[in-house]
Amino acid sequence: RPAWYRVALVAAAVPVAVVANTLRVVLMNLGAVAFGTKWMGGALHDAPALFSIPVGVALFLLFDRAAGRLCARE
C-alpha cells in the first residue's frame, strides 16, 4: 500500500475514537436516565464499552475498506 494510505489509516484513528467514545458517553447518559447513576459504580460500569468498542472497530474497518478501494483505482 502507498504511504498516503498508511498515513490516512493512522489519522483516521482519531475521529473513529472520538465517535466511539461519544457513543459510549451517550449510552452511559441514557443508562443514567433509565436506571440512575448507581449502576455506573457496579458490575455494569463497562457495559457501554461492549457496544462502543465494536462500533469503533467497524468504523475503522469501513475506513480501511474505502481507502483500499481508492488504492485499487490507482
In terms of residues, how long is the chain? 74
**The three cell numbers locating residue 37:** 447513576
pLDDT of residue 49: 83
**The three cell numbers locating residue 24:** 459510549
Question: Helix (H) and strand (E) counts for the chain?
Answer: 2, 0
What average pLDDT values come out for the chain (74 residues) when binned by 10 residues? 91 94 89 85 79 92 92 78
pLDDT of residue 61: 95
Give the integer Cα–Cα distance in Å for 50 and 67: 27
Quick check: 16 and 59 in contact, CB under 8 A?
yes
pLDDT of residue 59: 94
pLDDT of residue 40: 80
Give the integer Cα–Cα distance in Å for 7 and 28: 32
pLDDT of residue 55: 92
Question: What global pTM score does this model have?
Answer: 0.76
pLDDT of residue 47: 81
